[in-house]
A and B are shown apart, each in its own frame.
Chain A
Amino acid sequence: MGKCRTMIGKKDINVKKNKRTKIIITGVLTVGLLTVVLIFSGCIQQKEQSEDEHTLIQASSHDIGDINGHLYGGAQMAQGMVYETLVENTFNGPKPRLAESWNISDDGKVYTFYLRKNVKFQDGEPFNAQAVKDNIDAVQRNKERHAWLALSSKIVSCDVVDNYTVNLVLSEAYYPTLNELGYTRPYSMMSPKCFLNGETKNGVSGHIGTGPYKLIDHVEDQYATFEANPNYWGGEPSIKKIIRKVLPTGQTTLLALQKKEVNFLCTESGGNMLDFQAIKDLEKNGDYQITQSDPVSTKILLVNTGNPDSPLADKSVREAVWYAIDRNSMAKLSGGEELPAETLMSKAIPYCNIDLKARSFDPEKARQILDAAGWKLKKGAEYRTRNGETLKFDLCYFSAKPEQKTMSELIQSNLKEIGIQLELIGEENNACYDRRKTGNYDMLFDVTWGVPYEPHCTANILKPGGSYDATTKGLPEAEKLNQEVDDVLASKDEATRKKLYAEIFTTVHEEANIIPLTYGHLTVIYPKNLEDVHFLQNQYEFPFKDLKFK
């Protein structure tokens, strides 16, 4: 009896074990099957993009985002392909685009635009005075968001005169009106059919403009496909299809260029983390060409002059810092992509061809200035002191931008050579922007907006409440500077404007409250057989419509 019970018990255990084994095997098989299903579902879902050799496949580190032409969330390069503005900013000033011509009233308050006829939106809707009014009114109803653009606070109304004429009425004369109307956003023209209840501020139902390309497909964080607009008023572009692929890292981008999975790359000023030497090697191999633009923006150090307890409140310390920085070595760090900058604005920027005293790298001069200011280096000491206080301050940089870290370390080493102790603080973008806004910094890394926003946007933010407010707060000429900025923005004649800009940027240069480091370029890498590659004045757009393959 006892033997029988033992046997039954063993049988039970075996049955249980078999059950468990089955469960485990079933589990493993299910996971395996799921894997196969997932892979094949991936194969079915993903569209294979068949590209012929005349398709331009652009690599970009980020997605195009929401390219609503009245907002700021999308990639400007993509917005510039789909939408157009009334005027176009060129190296020779504003030129006609959707407006064929314009008149400005004597008091500078009324701009009359004569629109191009026979222009249609990509959905077939006519482009006319009513469409312009709908667009400008929609932008103006969200003007809090466009507060950075002085024009948005000056537009009183947009009135339809006839089917192809509109009047833009301003509250006061504002010389950059045409320039600001030519920015990619917010005054770009979208088909009113895309508006949601007459508005665009909360999104649009489609991305339809009058531009040379149509957005036909977009998969977030993967790619966006643009097709030539056959009804484009300026003639159908030669390149029929442009695909913008998202490749977040520089190394993968270079490898994809080598493999020709992508064949076009336009570096964004200070953004792509690309090894410039590797880019040059691509050119040497013979498959690609490289073209560089003129300087488009400047990497700068904002110096807080508003804190009387900081050594940087003293102009001589700021000057010494300027002399101590080795800009040539800094430019070499970029592998030749950047040039040493001696002035805040390069001479290529409108109104900025000003003769200013260069403060080239001269550590000896920096030492003399500090000695004269009472900051002495005691024998055997590493850093200078004055009345027992060590000469030290902080430099904050954007940690998400690796080139800023390298440049900051070089500055730290340069300043140590002359006896200044520089603490580096790397923080993520939002923390740095917070510091810039509140003035909670000694020195802060930044990059100018570049053309076409220069020079008036940078001038505008020097005023109290602007982003560069802390740099001018402690200057003896602060009030005069504010008045000059107000005057230049309201100026009506070129001579006054030139004179005022020269005065503003001379003051900023003399006071060394913004220290220039390097000028950034745009670099385009493109196939050997691509022709007519050039740049627009707006660094954020690219003239894809003008390109053609041989």
Chain B
Amino acid sequence: MRNYVAKRIFAAVPLFFIISFCSFVLINLSPTDPAVAALRANDVPVITEELVEQTRAQLGLDQPLLIRYGKWLSGCLQLNFGQSYVKKISVSSLILPAFLNTLKLVTVTSVTIILLSTIFGVFCALREGSKADKGIRGILFVFTSMPSYWIGPLMIWFFAVQLNILPTSGIGNASHYILPVIVMSFSYIGFYFRLIRNSMIRNSGENYVLYEKASGLPDRLVNRHILRNSLQTAISGFCMAIPGMLAGTVVVENVFAWPGIGRLCVSAIFDRDLPVIQAYIIIVAAFFILFNLIADLISAAINPKQREG
């Protein structure tokens, strides 16, 4: 297992550097001059060539691409992502609070998704074909099909305005988490619960289940074994969904006025604030690599065959 972990970590390092290089080069290929974009983002009404040259020099954009990449990468390795072209403050101080806000939301959402997907998945698998199974599948299918920009305002209208029991938006106490977590969970629970349910149904036809039942093992124990073997696909999928959620919460963040990294990144994209965009890509890429690694490790822990392969 130790060798397997070392091998996986070792493989992640070059991947990280390739992503960082590609993202840096691709962003810098954009036809809009970042110096001009930075001036526009600061609402400078008329941009003269002289001002652009001055800004380019100030931002270090007059240096060759590879030198800029080298400087940026060495900064990143020390968690110094440079200075925002637009807000003139360090990217770390801009991105860290936003990232923590998104992380809080994603953590609560992930726990909700794991718990509810597993509960519904097991429940429906054990009652395959029953009215309860069909009913839950139908309801979750409907919820999964609802886009968050539509269901979000509806939930706000019902719970915050009509029932007056929750706040409409913003970040604050635990009650502020409820609506965005529900809306974000909707689109994932329907998917992961189905994955668990179908996998459990498939596993229950396997020979080992027949053998366990024939050996007289109690149902509780047999089901636990089925669940364990069925979780593997869901875990791999879910581990990749977490960084996906971290990167893609922008709709929910906008609807619920959640000051997270998605909103920050979208405004940075519109403003061509390259240091912020690059830091965002590198952080999200690091999380994708990390969670991919975690998924592999969990799968290896559950399934020893994988460690050997």
CB of A272 within 8 Å of the partner chain = no
Nearest residue in B to A185 (C-beta to C-beta)?
A: B43
CB of A26 within 8 Å of the partner chain = no
Whether the pair A252, B48 counts as a contact (CB closer than 8 A) is no
- Assuming A31-B107, A38-B107, A400-B270, is B88 touching A66 (CB within 8 A)? yes
CB of A148 within 8 Å of the partner chain = yes
CB of A7 within 8 Å of the partner chain = no
Q: Which of A71, A147, A219, A252 has the most CB of B within 10 A?
A: A252
State the total of A-B contacts with C-beta under 8 angstroms: 143
B79 to chain A, nearest CB (A): 20
A184 to chain B, nearest CB (A): 11
User: Using a CB-CB cutoff of 8 Å, which residues 108-124 of chain A contact chain B?
Assistant: none
CB of B6 within 8 Å of the partner chain = no
Question: What separation, in Å, do the CA atoms of A42 and B156 have in the docked complex?
Answer: 21
Whether the pair B44, A148 counts as a contact (CB closer than 8 A) is yes
Count of A residues near B, CB < 8 Å? Answer: 56
Whether the pair B88, A144 counts as a contact (CB closer than 8 A) is no
Whether the pair A252, B255 counts as a contact (CB closer than 8 A) is yes
| Segment touching A, from B70-78, B160-168, B199-207 | B160-168
Q: Beta-carbon contacts of B87-124 to A below 8 Å, as 1s and 0s?
A: 11000001001100001100110110010000000000
Find B111's partner among A35, A457, A467 (CB 8 Å cutoff).
A35
Whether the pair B44, A38 counts as a contact (CB closer than 8 A) is no
- Assuming A31-B111, A248-B257, is B45 touching A255 (CB within 8 A)? no
Find B270's partner among A31, A145, A429, A449 (CB 8 Å cutoff).
A429
Main DSSP-derived SS at the B contact region: helix
CB of A347 within 8 Å of the partner chain = no
Whether the pair A431, B104 counts as a contact (CB closer than 8 A) is no
Whether the pair A144, B51 counts as a contact (CB closer than 8 A) is yes
Q: Beta-carbon contacts of B55-90 to A below 8 Å, as 1s and 0s?
A: 000000000000000000000000000000011100
Taking CB atoms, residues of chain A closer than 8 Å to B174 are 39-40, 42-43
Taking CB atoms, residues of chain A closer than 8 Å to B263 are 221, 248
- Assuming A38-B104, A42-B104, A461-B46, is B173 touching A252 (CB within 8 A)? no
Taking CB atoms, residues of chain B closer than 8 Å to A220 are 94, 97, 259
Taking CB atoms, residues of chain B closer than 8 Å to A248 are 254, 257, 263
Question: What separation, in Å, do the CA atoms of A457 and B110 have in the docked complex?
Answer: 53
Number of chain B interface residues as a range: 35 or more
Whether the pair A221, B107 counts as a contact (CB closer than 8 A) is no
CB of A203 within 8 Å of the partner chain = yes
Whether the pair B257, A20 counts as a contact (CB closer than 8 A) is no
Nearest residue in B to A19 (C-beta to C-beta)?
A: B301
Whether the pair A20, B302 counts as a contact (CB closer than 8 A) is yes
Whether the pair B37, A430 counts as a contact (CB closer than 8 A) is yes
Given A31-B111, A248-B254, A255-B153, 16 further pairs, Cβ under 8 A: A31-B110, A39-B104, A39-B108, A42-B176, A46-B173, A73-B42, A73-B86, A73-B88, A145-B51, A147-B48, A251-B153, A252-B256, A258-B161, A259-B164, A261-B169, A434-B32
Q: Which residues of B contact A (CB under 8 A)?
A: 31-32, 36-37, 39-48, 50-51, 54, 86-88, 94, 97-98, 103-104, 107-108, 110-111, 114, 153, 156-157, 160-161, 164, 167-174, 176-177, 254-257, 259, 263-264, 270, 272, 298, 301-302
Q: Which residues of A contact B (CB under 8 A)?
A: 20, 23-24, 28, 31-32, 34-35, 38-40, 42-43, 46, 48, 65-66, 71-73, 144-145, 147-149, 202-203, 219-222, 245-249, 251-252, 255-256, 258-259, 261, 400, 428-431, 433-434, 437, 449, 457, 461, 466-467
